[in-house]
Amino acid sequence: MADRFFPNEMPDFIPETPESSASERSEDSLTKLLSLPYKTLAERLNRAALDLKQTVVKETWGSSGRRVHDDCILYTGVLGTAFLLFKAYQISNNKDDLNLCSQIVKACHTASRSSGCVTFICGQAGVCALGAVVAKHSGDERLCDQYLTKFKEIKLPKDLPNELLYGRAGFLWACSFLNKNIGKDTISSSRTRPVVDEIIKSGRRLANKGRCPLMYEWHGKKYWGAAHGLAGIMHVLMDMELKPDEVEDVKGTLRYMIKNRFPSGNYPSSEGSGSDHLVHWCHGTPGVALTLVKAAEVFGDEEFLKAAVDAGEVVWNRGLLKRVGICHGISGNTYVFLALYRLTGKVEFLYRAKAFACFHLDKSQRLISEGKMHGGDRPYSLFEGIGGMAYLFLDMTVPSEARFPAYEL
Ligand SMILES: [Zn+2]
């Protein structure tokens, strides 16, 4: 696996044709999938998603004796399975998915009480916030309130970093998730504003009147990507009520990134890095692209729309990764095209999302078994494994509603 990605040899566009005429032609299986009417393809993706979901549940929950052992976080642990089940419930309205999801979140809650991490993706906030939303959907107001009470008891350490996976931005994202899914002001601005203030203050301090208005550090590096850096922090800030000078700093930070991207169009993983290798959600263009789409949605500026479309080209050419997951795999990169489709309504972006998803459906499991593709360090997890693939396939069935899990609201 010398290269990180497969060369993208898929055609720029394949029109959909009636199923009967497609099956008569002697095309390869991927071209046939891409020619299907969308409704037929969505049914296939849905079936594949439900099969994958069964496997994920069996491997992460059934085989562990329905108990949480070591890992209850959303990124690699069984809370990711719960998040996938909640998505399946939202798509199919199957109450069994909701009930199982609720059981898993309860087990995670018991196991995670001593966790020091306060974010949605890697910590306690994810357990309490998902628990509250699932309880609301189950009609259990009392349980919903219990989870909310626990959420409100979460204390943020003074030395918390600012990034998404372990820091302040990851806590704020959980607040936005609750406000979107339970009701406006479920978590009021009196709770979020001091956290926003801290993020802005530390960003300005480290930028120190440099060329970029906001800058952050995590483990000694000034990261740019979604997981640990600027893209993730700016993404979350845009969901907050910002003061005019803060809006200008967010815009200025994004403009700085656009101006200083690599000549190839890819974005560096950290400030000053000359290594143009990573095209992942966590590091590189895909995570930045989702932030640029959001900036275009929130601010309406043409420059962000153009940069988002440019970023989409990089992902099309170099984003067919030899990994399956959401964080650094084909599943996550597909969401760039879904976001561009939502933003522009252009069918070419839906085609590109379809092409990545169909490549996945047609080839990934065979390529993994042949050792030509990596199945993830945690092969059933949401962010690294086939949990993310199942989540993507479910989202592909209603593409206008698709959202990168635990990142796009
Ligand atoms: Zn990653």
Q: Tell me, in angstroms, the distance from the centre of ligand 1 to residue 24's CA.
A: 41
DSSP H helical ranges for 208-301: 230-237, 244-259, 285-299
Percent of the chain with pLDDT over 90: 91
Q: Tokens standing for 387?
A: 């949990």
Q: Tell me, in angstroms, the distance from the centre of ligand 1 to residue 140's CA.
A: 35
Residue 229 phi, psi dihedral angles, 5° rounding: -135, -155
For residues 52-66, average pLDDT: 90
- Residues 230, 185, 342, 92, Cα dihedral to 10°: 120
Q: How confident is the model at residue 260 (pLDDT cuts 50, 70, 90)?
A: very high
Q: Tell me, in angstroms, the distance from the centre of ligand 1 to residue 329's CA.
A: 8
Q: Tell me, in angstroms, the distance from the centre of ligand 1 to residue 326's CA.
A: 8
- What pLDDT score does 66 carry? 74
Write out pLDDT tens, residues 311-364: 999 999 999 999 999 999 999 999 999 999 999 999 999 999 999 999 999 999
- What pLDDT score does 213 carry? 97
Q: Which of 63-77, 225-239, 359-373 shows the lowest per-residue confidence on average (mean pLDDT)?
A: 63-77
- What pLDDT score does 26 carry? 63
Q: Tell me, in angstroms, the distance from the centre of ligand 1 to residue 327's CA.
A: 4
Q: Tell me, in angstroms, the distance from the centre of ligand 1 to residue 280's CA.
A: 6
Domain boundaries, the chain: 33-67+320-408
Q: How confident is the model at residue 71 (pLDDT cuts 50, 70, 90)?
A: confident
Q: Tell me, in angstroms, the distance from the centre of ligand 1 to residue 37's CA.
A: 33
For residues 78-85, average pLDDT: 97
Q: Tell me, in angstroms, the distance from the centre of ligand 1 to residue 328's CA.
A: 4
Please give the mean pLDDT across all residues of the chain: 95
Q: Tell me, in angstroms, the distance from the centre of ligand 1 to residue 72's CA.
A: 18
- What pLDDT score does 104 carry? 96
Q: In this predicted model, which residue has the larger pLDDT, 69 or 326?
A: 326
Could you give the C-alpha distances from 279 to 100, 129, 231, 264, 270, in angstroms and in order? 35, 30, 14, 11, 13
Q: Tell me, in angstroms, the distance from the centre of ligand 1 to residue 261's CA.
A: 19
Say whether pLDDT at 1 is over 60: no
Say whether pLDDT at 155 is over 70: yes
- What pLDDT score does 111 carry? 87
Contacts of 130 (CB under 8 A, 6+ apart): 74, 79, 82, 83, 86, 105
- The model's pTM is 0.97
Write out pLDDT tens, residues 3-37: 899 999 999 999 999 876 655 666 899 999 999 99
- What pLDDT score does 310 carry? 98
Q: Tell me, in angstroms, the distance from the centre of ligand 1 to residue 287's CA.
A: 10
For residues 63-89, average pLDDT: 89
Q: Tell me, in angstroms, the distance from the centre of ligand 1 to residue 192's CA.
A: 27
Q: Tell me, in angstroms, the distance from the centre of ligand 1 to residue 73's CA.
A: 15
- What pLDDT score does 20 carry? 67
Q: Tell me, in angstroms, the distance from the centre of ligand 1 to residue 405's CA.
A: 14
| Residues contributing to the annotated binding site for Zn(2+) | 282, 327-328
Give the span between the Cα atoms of 207 and 326, in whole angstroms.
30
Q: Tell me, in angstroms, the distance from the centre of ligand 1 to residue 284's CA.
A: 10
For residues 79-88, average pLDDT: 98
- What pLDDT score does 138 carry? 97
- What pLDDT score does 126 carry? 96
Say whether pLDDT at 133 is over 60: yes
Write out pLDDT tens, residues 232-251: 999 999 999 999 999 999 99
Cβ atoms within 10 Å of 23's Cβ, excluding its own: 12
Write out pLDDT tens, residues 174-206: 999 999 999 999 999 999 999 999 999 999 999
Say whether pLDDT at 107 is over 90: yes
Residue 73 phi, psi dihedral angles, 5° rounding: -85, 165
Q: Tokens standing for 99?
A: 């009930």
Q: Tell me, in angstroms, the distance from the centre of ligand 1 to residue 362's CA.
A: 23
| Residues contributing to the annotated binding site | 282, 327-328
DSSP string, 22-65: HHHS---HHHHHHHS-HHHHHHHHHHHHHHHHHHHHIIIIITTT
Cβ atoms within 10 Å of 204's Cβ, excluding its own: 16
Q: Tell me, in angstroms, the distance from the centre of ligand 1 to residue 382's CA.
A: 12
- What pLDDT score does 24 carry? 60
